[in-house]
Structure 1
Amino acid sequence: ALRGAARRYPSLGVPFTVAAASLAGLPPLSLWVSKDEVLATALARSPALYGVGLLGAVIAAAYSAKAVWFVWRPEPSDVAAGWDTEERGTRHVSAFAPPALVALAGSAAVLGVLALLPVGELVGAQGAPAAWELALSAVLAGGAAATAWWWGDRPIPGTRPLHGWLGLERGAEALLVTPTMALARALATFDDRVLHRAVLAVPAAGLRLARLADRRAEFSISGAVAGVVAGARRLGELARRPQTGQLHQYYAQAAVALAVLALLVVVVT
């Protein structure tokens, strides 16, 4: 989908080209000097580290040139087939984007010229790269970029093992992905068979206990109520016994009550 994008959007393609050239470390762009500042420090510590850093700079130059080559190629006839493969694009460039990109690309192009001036000496910078280091990195970056541009999109022989990331993807899948997925499946099974059933069993047990407690409480309360009713009934029966409806019995009861009252008065006084 990026093939021909610079032709379709030249206001973005030109700043992208300048930025990619700066990323490649081509002189006199800014990354050419800043990269060699880092490499000079590495050389002071270890020549081997300097060599590794220089190799990384060459690879970055080749990849940057390859990206520029793709975006400036003519658009294929089926270019629309590569659109919206990851997310839906707008295919619209904001009016604010080109000025910002031009300013950034211009800074990347102009600030590198300061490396040709004795600015580092004026500010007292330490570990500045020597002239031969700047020349060597410039030649290597330019050669790598030119080679990548000339090679185009042809496959590079002998790089087939690199397509599988030297087996790192398979190793990561075997050592990390597969055990992690197995653990996830085991935890999911444990959740379904143990935790889920336990969650369902706890409320069921609580409901059974509540019903049992309700029955026992109901039995005890019902028994107490029945006892109170029986006692009240017994007291009522006892209270109704003197109520025969015969006057001589009422007189006799009143006489007995008065006699008891008189006896209490005598005892108390």
Structure 2
Amino acid sequence: MSPASGPATLAALVLVPAVVGVVLLVTGRRADRLAGPLAVATALATLTLAAGVAVWRPQAQAPFLPGVTGGELALAVDGLSAVLVVTVAAVAAAVVVFATADLPRTDARARFFGYLLLFTAAMLATVTATTIPALLLSWEIMGATSYALIGFQWATPGKAAAGTTAFLTTRLGDLGLYIAAGASFAGTGSLELSGLATADGGWRDVAAAGVLVAALGKSAQLPFSAWLSAAMQGPSAVSALLHSATMVAAGGYLLLRVQPLLEATGWAATTAAWAGALTALVLGLVAAAQVDLKQLLAASTGAQIGFVVLGAGVGSVAGGTAQWVAHAAVKAALFVVAGVWLTALGTKKLTGLRGAARRNRGIGAAATVAALALAGVPPLSLWVTKDWAMAGTGSTALRLVALSAAALSAVYAGRVLAVVLAPLPTDEARAAGRVPPVTTTVAWTLTLAAAGLAVLGLPAVAGRFAGVVAGGAQEAPGLGELAASGVIAVVVLAVVLVRPQLLAPLRRTPLLSWAGLPLLLTPRPWLAVARAADAVDARVIDRGVDGAAASVVRLARAVRRTDETVIDGAVDAVATATARSADVLWRIDGAVVDAAVHRLARSLRRLGGVMRRPQTGQLHQYYAQTLSGLGLLLALLLLVR
């Protein structure tokens, strides 16, 4: 590969996993034996291509909507997408390798890896799209393949329904992108993502609202968070990819990409910041109350992506991107470990995972480091990146909410550690099934990345990173802020580890059932809203309409009386006067005008008779008349003279 082949390499970055994925889907069960090795080779090739385009920063495009500015399917790699394509490709490669060992041999492996590769291709296209058509196409493919992956084991009760729930919820939010596309075209005449911030005022606000809805829905931010719980029905490899560097993170990426649009409107930036902070707080509480490991990790995903959304809202693009990348490594590692324990112990319940980290020391150590990173313990990655995402927060209230959410990270991470590090029951052996070496390798690769990404907080690295992803220096947390957040994380974690029973009351609250958010996906709350709307319609709107109608009737009657007594009388009087005037004029016409006309006609007739007499037709008479006339004229001239 060379820089000259950059556009072809960028196209291959998306097309290679997409084409291989489609081939596996079309081939079906006949390719099950080869699906795993082929998927691994494809994922590694994709990672190599990602590294190449991250260095060369190429552009590529294909015609799609002729005659429309920005109507092509255009991809490009800038600083932000360079960081993210490598992250997406690296995490996807790790998850594909893990899936080859984790997925049962009896499952439809070709179908699974086909969808997984197509899903990865869609995310790679999403983070490199520069036009709305390209973004929409990849966005939709990502949603469709996520449905297939979550409901992959569709024969198991509840699996297909879970995929449907996730698909429909995110599709509802996706409508915002179509609204944004229409607003962009109306306001700028273009479909380029970079032009959204320059749209006319009203259209710019509509575009910002559409993008916000789409991003919050995709990233399971409030009020769209409930679909994350349903998504846990998918295989462990799906959870590891979906919750780390792909779909759940896609909304956070989109807001980082269109941050100039959020800033231009003002209100959209504030809305994004508060949505992210409140999601981090609420889902942090939900995670702390869970008794199922995958549900806890799912809620923590929404909470951690909340810091990315917060960073986009307050203008901390570098901090939000750092949080995005670090969280991808941390969460992928934790879901891989959760998959190992689920396979080995047959349970996701925390009560059944007591001492799980002691059963296999390699996996247990990886889980411990990843959980400490999730808690924000120094010097691991999320300790730095969460504070960096919050660095631009100007509102005291917003910062307090964000700091509270950061402290909750230590609470739910501590819950996991308190269980898996607990002593094994005396009647159980330490070993609980053999963990494939490849799985341990994947877990530790992701864990080391989760720990090592803390270097992003070093001043020299942070400045350069901000220059790459944000185009210049951005506000970073001070040493005092980092020290304070680190101390808070350590203290909270220690309290949870020593006194885990303090969290027991949370399990008796609605937080255990995701704070009632799943109810939003059922007909009951919407029927209640409909009944309330009906009551408002009957008691307020209908009464107002009836009152207005009565007023109109009274006004109509008054107008009718005025018409009968005033306007009709005036019209009748004018008609009578007009008739009388016409009669007088008729008489004048007969007595005066007609008589004068008759007299004039008689006079003209007599004059015509006199003038006709000289016209005899005799030439000598005409000569005589001419000479007589000349003589009279000569006499007249002599007299006048």
TM-score of the two chains, using structure 2 as the length reference: 0.24
- The change in CA–CA distance for 1:128 and 1:93 in structure 2 (over 3 A counts) is same
Partners of 1:7 and 1:13 within 8 A in 2: yes
| 1:106 aligned residue (444, 448, 455) | 448
Return the alpha-carbon distance in structure 2 between the equivalents of residues 173 and 115 of structure 1.
40
1:118-137 superposed matches below 5 A:
118-122=460-464, 123=467, 124-137=472-485
1:17 matched to 2:375? The reply is no
Paired letter, 2:480: W
1:94 matched to 2:433? The reply is no
Return the alpha-carbon distance in structure 1 between the equivalents of residues 418 and 482 of structure 2.
25
Return the alpha-carbon distance in structure 2 between the equivalents of residues 10 and 158 of structure 1.
31
Return the alpha-carbon distance in structure 1 between the equivalents of residues 390 and 368 of structure 2.
24
Return the alpha-carbon distance in structure 1 between the equivalents of residues 389 and 515 of structure 2.
31
Partners of 2:372 and 2:413 within 8 A in 1: yes
Return the alpha-carbon distance in structure 1 between the equivalents of residues 498 and 356 of structure 2.
20
- The change in CA–CA distance for 1:178 and 1:126 in structure 2 (over 3 A counts) is closer
Partners of 2:415 and 2:500 within 8 A in 1: yes
Return the alpha-carbon distance in structure 1 between the equivalents of residues 525 and 501 of structure 2.
33
- The change in CA–CA distance for 1:178 and 1:151 in structure 2 (over 3 A counts) is same
1:23-102 superposed matches below 5 A:
23-41=374-392, 43-44=393-394, 46-76=395-425, 91-102=433-444
Return the alpha-carbon distance in structure 2 between the equivalents of residues 169 and 131 of structure 1.
38
Most deviating of 149-158 and 49-58: 149-158
**C-alpha deviation, 1:152, in angstroms:** 2.6
Return the alpha-carbon distance in structure 1 between the equivalents of residues 499 and 428 of structure 2.
22
Structure 1: tracts of 5 or more residues without a match: 81-89, 180-269
How big is each residue's C-alpha offset from its partner over 1:70-89, in whole Å with a ceiling of 9 and x where there is no partner?
11112236779xxxxxxxxx
| 1:140 aligned residue (479, 488, 493) | 488
Return the alpha-carbon distance in structure 2 between the equivalents of residues 151 and 104 of structure 1.
30
Partner of 1:237: none
Partners of 1:28 and 1:113 within 8 A in 2: no
Instruction: Give the secondary structure class of the aligned counterpart of 2:353.
Output: coil
1:113-262 superposed matches below 5 A:
113-122=455-464, 123=467, 124-153=472-501, 156=504, 160-162=508-510, 168=516, 176=524
Partner of 2:41: none
Higher relative contact order structure (alpha carbons within 8 Å, sequence separation ≥ 6): 1
Instruction: Give the secondary structure class of the aligned counterpart of 1:27.
Output: coil
Return the alpha-carbon distance in structure 2 between the equivalents of residues 146 and 21 of structure 1.
11
Partners of 1:40 and 1:127 within 8 A in 2: yes
How big is each residue's C-alpha offset from its partner over 1:152-179, in whole Å with a ceiling of 9 and x where there is no partner?
3455458744566597379769962897
Return the alpha-carbon distance in structure 2 between the equivalents of residues 111 and 170 of structure 1.
34
- The change in CA–CA distance for 1:172 and 1:115 in structure 2 (over 3 A counts) is closer
Return the alpha-carbon distance in structure 1 between the equivalents of residues 518 and 475 of structure 2.
43
- The change in CA–CA distance for 1:167 and 1:107 in structure 2 (over 3 A counts) is closer
- The change in CA–CA distance for 1:177 and 1:153 in structure 2 (over 3 A counts) is same
**C-alpha deviation, 1:17, in angstroms:** 0.6
Return the alpha-carbon distance in structure 2 between the equivalents of residues 178 and 79 of structure 1.
49
Return the alpha-carbon distance in structure 2 between the equivalents of residues 174 and 35 of structure 1.
34
**C-alpha deviation, 1:62, in angstroms:** 1.2
Return the alpha-carbon distance in structure 2 between the equivalents of residues 48 and 120 of structure 1.
27
Return the alpha-carbon distance in structure 2 between the equivalents of residues 158 and 22 of structure 1.
23
How big is each residue's C-alpha offset from its partner over 1:58-103, in whole Å with a ceiling of 9 and x where there is no partner?
11111101211211112236779xxxxxxxxx94422201112112
Instruction: Give the secondary structure class of the aligned counterpart of 1:16.
Output: helix
Return the alpha-carbon distance in structure 1 between the equivalents of residues 367 and 515 of structure 2.
33
Return the alpha-carbon distance in structure 2 between the equivalents of residues 97 and 48 of structure 1.
44
Return the alpha-carbon distance in structure 1 between the equivalents of residues 436 and 442 of structure 2.
11
**C-alpha deviation, 1:50, in angstroms:** 1.5
- The change in CA–CA distance for 1:177 and 1:3 in structure 2 (over 3 A counts) is farther
RMSD: 3.4
TM-score of the two chains, using structure 1 as the length reference: 0.53
**C-alpha deviation, 1:146, in angstroms:** 0.9
Partners of 2:377 and 2:490 within 8 A in 1: yes
**C-alpha deviation, 1:116, in angstroms:** 3.3
Partners of 2:418 and 2:497 within 8 A in 1: yes
Using the aligned pairs only, state the percent identity.
36
Partners of 1:12 and 1:98 within 8 A in 2: yes
Partner of 2:127: none
Partners of 1:40 and 1:50 within 8 A in 2: no
**C-alpha deviation, 1:137, in angstroms:** 1.3
Return the alpha-carbon distance in structure 2 between the equivalents of residues 100 and 131 of structure 1.
33
**C-alpha deviation, 1:52, in angstroms:** 1.0
